[in-house]
A and B are shown apart, each in its own frame.
Chain A
Amino acid sequence: MSFLNGILSQVQPTKLSFTGDDFMYILPEFIVLVTACLLVIVDLILPKKSRGGLAWLALLGYVGALAAAGYLYYADATISHTTFSGMFVRDNFTLFNEIIFLITGILGILISPTYSLKRKIPLGELYSIQAFSVLGMMIVGGSGDLMAVFVGIELSSIAVYILTGFARNDRGSAEGALKYFLLGIMATAILVYGMAWTFGMTGSTNLREIGRQIASQHSTSSNMDSGITFAMLLLLVGFGFKIAAVPFHVWTPDAYEGAPTPISAFMSVGPKAAGFAALIRVMVEGMPTLSNQWTIIIAVLAVLTMTLGNVVAIAQNSVKRMLAYSSIAHTGYIMVGVAAYVNSNGVDTNVARQNDSISSVLIYSLIYVFMNIGAFGILIYLQNQQGGAEVDDFNGLARWSPIAALAMALCLFSLAGIPPTGGFFGKFFVFRAAINSNLLWLTIIGALNSAVSAFFYLRVVVAMYFNPQSEESKSKLVPTRSFFLTAALVIICVAILVLGLYPDPALKLAQDGATPLFQVVKAAAGQP
Chain B
Amino acid sequence: MEQVILVILGMLAVGSALGVVLMPSSIYSALMLLFNLISLANLFLMLHAQFIFAAQLLIYAGAILVLFLFVVTLLNPEGEHIFRDKRKLQRAGALTLGLVLLIILAGGLIYLITGGPSFDFAPDKPGAYPYGTVEAFGAGLFTQFLLPFELTSLVLLVALIGSVVLGKRR
> A462 on the interface (CB 8 Å rule)?
no
Name the residue of chain A whose CB is nearest to the CB of B152.
A151
Name the residue of chain A whose CB is nearest to the CB of B144.
A85
Stretch of B36-44, B59-67, B117-125 that contacts chain A: B117-125
> A326 on the interface (CB 8 Å rule)?
no
- The answer to whether A13 touches B146 (Cβ under 8 A) is no
- The answer to whether B2 touches A16 (Cβ under 8 A) is no
- The answer to whether A14 touches B143 (Cβ under 8 A) is yes
- Among candidates B2, B114, B120, B155, residue contacting A155 with C-beta atoms closer than 8 Å: B155
How distant is the Cα of A18 from the Cα of B152 in the complex, in angstroms? 19
Q: Which chain A residues border B113 with CB–CB below 8 Å?
A: 20, 23-24
* Number of CB contacts from chain A to chain B under 8 A: 122
> B24 on the interface (CB 8 Å rule)?
no
> B89 on the interface (CB 8 Å rule)?
no
How distant is the Cα of A147 from the Cα of B148 in the complex, in angstroms? 6
For chain A, residues 1 to 59, give those with C-beta under 8 angstroms from any C-beta of chain B.
Answer: 1, 4-5, 8-9, 11-20, 23-24, 33, 40
Q: Which chain B residues border A165 with CB–CB below 8 Å?
A: 166
- The answer to whether A18 touches B147 (Cβ under 8 A) is no
Q: Which chain A residues border B170 with CB–CB below 8 Å?
A: 168
> B154 on the interface (CB 8 Å rule)?
yes
> A418 on the interface (CB 8 Å rule)?
no
How distant is the Cα of A148 from the Cα of B148 in the complex, in angstroms? 6
- The answer to whether B143 touches A132 (Cβ under 8 A) is no
How distant is the Cα of A24 from the Cα of B169 in the complex, in angstroms? 41
Name the residue of chain A whose CB is nearest to the CB of B109.
A23
- The answer to whether B115 touches A20 (Cβ under 8 A) is yes
For chain A, residues 121 to 145, give those with C-beta under 8 angstroms from any C-beta of chain B.
Answer: 122, 125, 128-129, 132-133, 135-136, 139, 145
> A309 on the interface (CB 8 Å rule)?
no
For chain B, residues 44 to 92, give those with C-beta under 8 angstroms from any C-beta of chain A.
Answer: 47-48
Q: Which chain A residues border B116 with CB–CB below 8 Å?
A: 20
> A311 on the interface (CB 8 Å rule)?
no
- Among candidates A18, A122, A133, A151, residue contacting B165 with C-beta atoms closer than 8 Å: A122
Q: Which chain A residues border B118 with CB–CB below 8 Å?
A: 17-19
Give chain B's interface residue range (CB within 8 Å of chain A): 35 or more
- The answer to whether A12 touches B127 (Cβ under 8 A) is yes
Name the residue of chain B whose CB is nearest to the CB of A131.
B158
How distant is the Cα of A15 from the Cα of B122 in the complex, in angstroms? 5
- The answer to whether A13 touches B139 (Cβ under 8 A) is yes
- Among candidates B2, B109, B112, B162, residue contacting A129 with C-beta atoms closer than 8 Å: B162
**What does the 1/0 interface line of A472-495 toward B look like (CB < 8 Å)?**
000000000000000000000000
> A162 on the interface (CB 8 Å rule)?
yes
> A152 on the interface (CB 8 Å rule)?
yes
Name the residue of chain B whose CB is nearest to the CB of A133.
B158
- The answer to whether A40 touches B161 (Cβ under 8 A) is yes
> B107 on the interface (CB 8 Å rule)?
no
How distant is the Cα of A148 from the Cα of B144 in the complex, in angstroms? 11
For chain A, residues 340 to 382, give those with C-beta under 8 angstroms from any C-beta of chain B.
Answer: none
Point out residues on B near A: beta carbons under 8 Å: 2, 47-48, 109, 112-116, 118-123, 126-127, 131, 136, 139-140, 142-148, 151-152, 154-155, 157-159, 161-162, 165-166, 169-170
Closest 10 CB pairs of A and B: A162-B162, A15-B122, A87-B147, A13-B139, A84-B147, A20-B113, A16-B143, A147-B148, A151-B151, A151-B148
- Can you sample 27 A-B contacts with CB below 8 Å? A9-B127, A9-B131, A11-B140, A13-B121, A13-B136, A13-B139, A13-B140, A14-B143, A14-B144, A18-B118, A20-B112, A20-B115, A23-B112, A84-B147, A87-B147, A88-B147, A125-B162, A132-B158, A139-B147, A145-B148, A151-B147, A152-B151, A155-B158, A158-B155, A162-B165, A165-B166, A168-B166
Apart from the given pairs A87-B147, A165-B166, 16 other A-B contacts in the complex at a CB distance below 8 Å: A1-B2, A5-B131, A12-B126, A16-B122, A16-B143, A20-B112, A33-B154, A85-B147, A87-B144, A87-B148, A135-B154, A151-B151, A158-B159, A158-B162, A159-B162, A162-B162
